[in-house]
Structure 1
Amino acid sequence: MKISNLSSRGTARRRTSAAVALAAVLALTATACGDDGSGAGGDKGAEGSGKGKIVFWDNNGGIRTAVWKEIIAGFEKANPDIDVEYVGIAATEYQSKVDTAIQGGGLPDVGGVTASMLAGFSAQGALEPLDGRLAKSSLDGQLNKDMVESLKAAGGGDGTLYSVPTSANNGVLYYRTDLFEKAGLEEPTTWDRFYTAAEKLTRADRNEFGYTIRGGSGSIAQAFDAMYGQSGITSFWDADKKKTTVNDPKNVAALEKYAALYKKATPAADVNNDFAKMVAQWDTGTIGMLNHNLGSYQDHVKALGTDGFRGIPQPVGPGGKRVQVSNPVDGLGVFKSSKNKEAAWKFIEFATSKEQNSKFNESAGQVPSNTGAGQDAWIREAEPTKLAADALTDGSTTIVQLPYYLPDWNTLSKSESEPAFQKVLLGDMTAKSFLDDLAEKLNAAQADWVEQAG
């Protein structure tokens, strides 16, 4: 196994222009209508011998490097005629690096492809369709159907599977059990209890706060969870799927209430905190609650022990119903330019088999895609993962599906929205102005997509 690491500061991706988006859609349509199937740069790759070297790009390098090294070692032992070169890329840099490689060459054989990335990659013809391979594979019927369908829906609207699911994440409300017990507070299972606890646990003069809010990179999905969770709105679009609900008055009011926690019940540093800083801050033990996902569970165990906190599903609204936004399903895809697609597919089959998928998700603290792995003992022992898996399957939760299929979704929800949300926290922009502006852009992107999709 060869190991490499790529890193760079990178720059925020610019919003895809209408001309580029149109060209991408037309290219995808041409492929679907009988084009030669070539990927970016006209390189359609080859099946290869199923032996030799393949390159794997990890889309969460550093965080998941150790477990991927274990999986790769097992794969190479089981397939001694295949050598895997591991390249770990930070999650914040991955998409831009793949986009650059699509245009300039140098794509790997296989790599991480989440739901949020699929539309952009597939529209550029960079991914190999995997439906036929899965149908002939031992994996057929062994993968969570909802995760498979989620990735098909995110792939650009043609219903093709371009990524095999490895795991699903879910929003979690972590809270300090000792602090709640000392203050005589009830478990924050409702939004009313959440806000009460945020206020009562705050003692700013002692550097004690009820909550830590995510204001830096990745803040929008967390803000959306708070919005839709409180408003109870269950769809991202109206009935005609022409206008988004993000700026519905109920969502505006919810975001106003949520953003008002900043500096009143949260540390001032939160305005710039990404997930790593936010998690590290909470693990110091002076903050009552944290919204994140299953991925940080092991960090909390190391810092606080299993008895020092709980991780529960997001609070329910006034009607007793839990509403939350979708979290991108993670997966693995074969890049069309690969010269050894057979070996790349063998790697995906191995990595998503019961044993390896269980190993990966126990390390990541996420819900396995392999249904056999989902029955393993560690899930029952990792309470947040068990509760998340139950919440996703027992009918208690309604998921608002985010429009990952829009080529502009990542840009609109990240590089364009995150700075604006910081202005809301700082009081330099109203929640209504922020959401109205975002809604206008989303409605335009949806209209373009509907027009091009016919």
Structure 2
Amino acid sequence: MRKLPTMVLSILLVLALVLTGCNSKESAGSEKKDSSNGEKADLRILWPGTNEAEKKVATMLGEKVKAKYPGINIEFLFLNWTDIEKKMTVMVQSGDAPDLMLIQDITNPVAMDALEPLDSYLNDQVNEGKFLKPTWETMKKNDTLYGIPGLAITYSHVANTELLAEAGVKIEDLKTWDDFIKASQAITKTGKSGYSMANGGEGRFTFRDFMMVSLSNGITPDQVDDEHKKQYIEVLELFQELSKDMPKSQVTWLYPELFKAWEAGDIGFMHTGSFFTSNVLAHGTKAMDRTEPIVFPAGPSAENPQMMVGTVGISILKGSKNKEAAWKVVEELMTPEVLGQWGGTVNSSAGTFVDMAILEEAAKGEYPDVYKQHSALNEKWGKLADQYGVPIPSILGQQQMEKIVQGALINLLDGKATPEETYDVIKTGVDKIKAQFK
């Protein structure tokens, strides 16, 4: 047999190597494509599980992820909202960070460098243009995105229309703090409580109520400097005046007790938000027809009323070893079907891509007897948010401040301290907390 020239053999060898390389690249590309749905990861998510609606969304999300990505397993760690940040902190500090968490306030987690920046993950499905602007901004710190908004939470006060009518008060007449005080007093004269708070627990609900009223006077609870002292004391004087119309038992109340009293028709005004329905239905349905969302009137040092708009988002933890798999979970949560179920039953959707028909159908499935009232209330909150909404204040050290404000405010409401003394106590405590975060 005639031998091939050495040069020919060399050329053939090079061609063989090139073809092999191409086939390897094609094979590798095929394997990567095929494995996109075969990725394996065990994920843990910190998730609020205080009511069945929240758990139902978790179940739907888990099923959707499992169907699309069979190798991704999700363990939902159900907690009260007040415990989620605490649990995250303990897990991160012990080197055992969860992969994802639902989140309302990114301030403290960002300060402790616990969250993964998400700007590089954004794509055609999940991006800023698909969500309400105030909710998107709430998930950012220093122009960096740390969470994807799922729910829009409009915080407002509500009025019991039956008690207002009995007291001869019209909602449209509530234009000043004095008007509000007079309305509360008129309701109290009927034998009910004009105003009520939830002052039990660790201070979260007390602080929320206080912050909502403070915003109506142009300040936030952490602004204890001399420049804002006058405005701050004005807020405290208002609470002192309203304390005469509050039930004594509220000192131990959390949301279950507050909403139970609201359903019973014992309260004229209270703070709540677009999370109202799921909380009140644990006690009955009558309040759905006599509840009217209102904006708290502007205070003496403010020109216009303000309502805070927050969000429930989802964040990936920086310490997660499965960030790509975690992002796939985020994408599934942000589909019209899952987000529609979430937004239709718990608060309202932050995603503008979810059709109203999907939201109402979800509400109908969750609240078959009152879904129309639920949808109507959410529509009213949406309109109020459009007119008066501002992003919920981001306060570093808020969780630590909540107990300080709660303790001082309870003493004020109980007549044990003056507004000036209460201000001094809050200022001292808040300044110490601020110093810890410098």
Which of the five TM-score ranges fits, normalised by the shorter chain?
0.7 to 0.9
* Structure 1 position 104 matched with structure 2 position 94: yes
Which of residues 323, 328, 332 in structure 2 aligns to 1:350?
332
Shift of 1:370: 0.8
Shift of 1:269: 0.4
* Structure 1 position 152 matched with structure 2 position 140: yes
On the 8 A contact 1:48/1:342 being kept in 2, the answer is no
On the 8 A contact 1:48/1:340 being kept in 2, the answer is no
Which of residues 373, 393, 399 in structure 2 aligns to 1:402?
393
Cα distance in 1, alignment partners of residues 51 and 150 from structure 2: 18
Tell me how many residue pairs correspond in the alignment.
Answer: 381
Q: Cα distance 1:437–1:286, how it changes in 2: closer, same or farther (>3 A)?
A: closer
Q: Cα distance 1:214–1:299, how it changes in 2: closer, same or farther (>3 A)?
A: closer
Give the counterpart letter for 1:399 in structure 2. Answer: V
* Structure 1 position 50 matched with structure 2 position 32: no
Larger Rg: 2
Deviations 1:309-346 (A, max 9, x none): 2223333457872124x354221111122222112111
Shift of 1:260: 2.8
C-alpha RMSD of matched pairs (Å): 3.1
Deviations 1:369-410 (A, max 9, x none): 2112275563996233222222222xx326375343x2x232
Q: Cα distance 1:125–1:428, how it changes in 2: closer, same or farther (>3 A)?
A: same
Give the counterpart letter for 2:157 in structure 1. Answer: L
Q: Secondary structure at the match of 2:294?
A: strand
Cα distance in 1, alignment partners of residues 286 and 303 from structure 2: 30
Map of 1:163 onto structure 2: 147
Map of 1:307 onto structure 2: 289
On the 8 A contact 2:114/2:319 being kept in 1, the answer is yes
Deviations 1:12-62 (A, max 9, x none): xxxxxxxxxxxxxxxxxxxxxxxxxxxxxxxxxxx9973332222104544
Q: Secondary structure at the match of 2:288?
A: coil
Give the counterpart letter for 1:120 in structure 2. Answer: N
Which of residues 188, 211, 229 in structure 2 aligns to 1:202?
188
Q: Secondary structure at the match of 1:355?
A: helix
Q: For 1:255-274, what aligned pairs fall within 5 Å after superposition? A: 255-262=236-243, 264-274=244-254
On the 8 A contact 1:165/1:331 being kept in 2, the answer is yes
Cα distance in 2, alignment partners of residues 402 and 129 from structure 1: 21
Q: Cα distance 1:53–1:448, how it changes in 2: closer, same or farther (>3 A)?
A: closer
* Structure 1 position 65 matched with structure 2 position 75: no
Map of 2:312 onto structure 1: 330
Larger RCO, structures 1/2 (Cα 8 Å, 6+ apart): 1
Cα distance in 1, alignment partners of residues 211 and 319 from structure 2: 36
Give the counterpart letter for 1:329 in structure 2. Answer: T
Q: Secondary structure at the match of 1:50?
A: coil
Gaps of 5+ in 2: 1-35, 364-371
Q: For 1:19-168, what aligned pairs fall within 5 Å after superposition? A: 50-62=39-51, 64-115=54-105, 118-134=106-122, 136-140=123-127, 141-153=129-141, 158-168=142-152
Q: Cα distance 1:122–1:171, how it changes in 2: closer, same or farther (>3 A)?
A: closer
Shift of 1:259: 2.9
Map of 1:424 onto structure 2: 412
Cα distance in 2, alignment partners of residues 363 and 168 from structure 1: 12
Runs of 4+, deviation exceeding 4 Å: 60-63, 234-238, 316-320, 374-377, 440-449
Gaps of 5+ in 1: 1-46
Of all paired residues, the percent bearing the same amino acid is: 20
* Structure 1 position 253 matched with structure 2 position 234: yes
On the 8 A contact 2:137/2:391 being kept in 1, the answer is no
Which of residues 149, 156, 168 in structure 2 aligns to 1:172?
156
On the 8 A contact 2:37/2:69 being kept in 1, the answer is no
Cα distance in 1, alignment partners of residues 50 and 279 from structure 2: 17
Give the counterpart letter for 1:266 in structure 2. Answer: M
Map of 2:214 onto structure 1: 227
Cα distance in 2, alignment partners of residues 358 and 201 from structure 1: 39
Q: Cα distance 1:249–1:307, how it changes in 2: closer, same or farther (>3 A)?
A: same
